[in-house]
Structure 1
């Protein structure tokens, strides 16, 4: 198939959506499909051969974070040219409700369109207010995918319609095969994320650290991600404890996998705005025991607490108590590793990619090739039902 994928966020600043699109594109290419990805990027950004730049993006506050988006007349012209030149069998647009390349592509495209919704925001007044503008574009979508039940709920409540839930995928084997780094082993807690973005929860972990170190003084915290390290340490009041925190900066995919394979416990203290939790799946793939805040999306990924431990979001005392309990109980850690390794198989790209391809094939074949009595069931399955 000739598949066009639209990334709404800048390729220069990696995030969960960009990683998902990258891994999906490479999975499809390995299976012999022709894939082109349209994404914002700076002129000097090195791009994979399957990515086409739509020009520079600008930072826009969105869903508790700052998203780098591309929108405007020049962008619209680039979208139209890419759609025309690609002659795609199916277009896969991510986050079509954002003011980005995704929405521009919805307006410009004809033919089968699959849309994936990543956002979970139960109180988005902006999305509700924008619905009259979005509606003509959204009506062109042939099938809808949500990456989690929480993202599906946001879609239903704000934009109407429905979606099939297909989670983000991970190359489980890549993380499972990684070699641990000896320097990162031995009483270590891991954190990966943008350290100066409050909703990623690093301040909660820093507030929990004094109690953890009081009970387990040999513990270290390894932090990977971009951001102001001095600002992060402001949440750790005792300067004598700061030497137990090591900032690794941005790490490669290979070093991320090695880090997750090395730590005794991976902590995800996020406080909100998460629709899935790809880092949790990556940690489970690397056999890292996981302790995460009890956000709906995280609880879903961790099978309600069966594949990883949960604590009340934002509660530093609860995080500290659970971390101390887990780090002091090797049998419990081993149990979490074993459960996580079994649970994570459902997120492997062999499974997730096959589900996405089934959606592509359904919309590309077209309703004309489907018997009338089958059409209703297929449309309901893939969120195609019309009011």
Structure 2
């Protein structure tokens, strides 16, 4: 199958959507499919052979973060050229409502289009205001995927229609097989994320750190991610700043070793999360997880059975839970075991196959669904009724279409 995938955000600025697209593309390539990814990228950005640059992106504030997007007449021309050269069997657009390559591709593409919605934002005025502009593009989408129930809910409430829920994927064994690093072990709490992005929650963790260290004098915090390191610790007492070690950006290999090494991984994110891929990566590596009680995080953590949660933005609650977990190796071992078992449902062997089933549905119709070797997909996502209806309407995909 010839698969075209559209990334809305700049390839040279790492993020969850980019990682998801990269891993999905490489999963399909390993299966023998032809894959091309169109993404914004600076001219000097090293790109994998399957990525085509659509030019530089510009930073745009969005959903509590800064998204680097690509839009305009030149971008539209590059989209049309990419579509023409690719002759794709299916085009998979991520975040088609963002003012970037996804929307441009929706307008220009012909044939089967699959769209994945990542955003969870229950009060998006921008999405409501843009509905009239988006409607024509959304009507061309053959199938919709949401990465979580909360992303699906955002889609339904703002744009109508529905989507099948297929979570983000992770190469579980890549993290599970990583070698711990000795200097990152021993009373360590881990955090990975952009340091100066408030919704990632590092300030909450910093406010909790004095109480954690008071109870566990040997504890220290390891921080991986880009941002202003001096500003991150400026509110900490001077004597505690040496307990925080900044590692900067780390490679995928070092991220896996980091998560295999820490005694506790903390995700203090304050909002704007539709899934929580870092939680899945941490569980894959066997790290006990403590996370804020965002709805999406609670769901990823199997309603709190695969990880502990604390009240969002409550530094005292974070400190209390962290102190208890660091003092209880038995509980941490229990979380490792539960997390390692729970996370298998997010492995690419499952997630990638589910996405491929959606491709087959929109490209070959009901016959592909009827002969699919994985018949449990539709019933697993609550689509048995729609599948049955297809017997009378051969090209109906009501739960997936706009």
TM-score, structure 1 length as denominator? 0.97
Change (3 A) 1:323 1:376: farther
Query: How far 1:379 moved relative to its partner?
Result: 1.4
Where do 5+ consecutive residues of structure 2 fail to align?
370-388
Change (3 A) 1:354 1:240: same
Give distance in 2, aligned partners of 1:368 and 1:76.
35
Query: How far 1:366 moved relative to its partner?
Result: 3.6
Q: Secondary structure at the match of 1:276?
A: coil
Residue 269 of structure 2 corresponds to which residue in structure 1?
A: 270
Deviation per CA, 1:297-355: give whole Å up to 9, x if none: 10110011000000011000000000000010011000000000000000000000000
Query: How far 1:372 moved relative to its partner?
Result: 5.0
Residue 343 of structure 2 is aligned to residue 325 of structure 1: no
Residue 391 of structure 2 corresponds to which residue in structure 1?
A: 373
Q: Secondary structure at the match of 2:223?
A: strand
Deviation per CA, 1:55-101: give whole Å up to 9, x if none: 00000001110000000000000000000110000000000000000
Q: Secondary structure at the match of 1:248?
A: strand
Residue 362 of structure 1 corresponds to which residue in structure 2?
A: 361
Query: How far 1:291 moved relative to its partner?
Result: 0.1
Deviation per CA, 1:264-285: give whole Å up to 9, x if none: 0000000000000000000000
Give distance in 2, aligned partners of 1:158 and 1:216.
47
Deviation per CA, 1:212-246: give whole Å up to 9, x if none: 0010010010000000001101232x110010000
Residue 400 of structure 2 is aligned to residue 383 of structure 1: yes
Give distance in 2, aligned partners of 1:143 and 1:102.
14
Give distance in 2, aligned partners of 1:47 and 1:373.
44
Give distance in 1, aligned partners of 2:75 and 2:393.
36
Deviation per CA, 1:19-44: give whole Å up to 9, x if none: 00000000000000000000000000
Matched residue count: 383
Query: How far 1:288 moved relative to its partner?
Result: 0.2
Change (3 A) 1:111 1:320: same
Query: How far 1:367 moved relative to its partner?
Result: 6.3
Query: How far 1:383 moved relative to its partner?
Result: 1.9
CA contact under 8 A between 2:91 and 2:113: conserved in structure 1? Answer: yes
Residue 20 of structure 1 corresponds to which residue in structure 2?
A: 20
Residue 302 of structure 1 corresponds to which residue in structure 2?
A: 301
Residue 55 of structure 1 corresponds to which residue in structure 2?
A: 55
Give distance in 2, aligned partners of 1:378 and 1:288.
43
Change (3 A) 1:368 1:220: closer
Residue 272 of structure 2 is aligned to residue 254 of structure 1: no
Residue 130 of structure 1 corresponds to which residue in structure 2?
A: 130
Most deviating of 367-376 and 311-320: 367-376
Residue 209 of structure 2 is aligned to residue 191 of structure 1: no
Q: Secondary structure at the match of 2:397?
A: helix
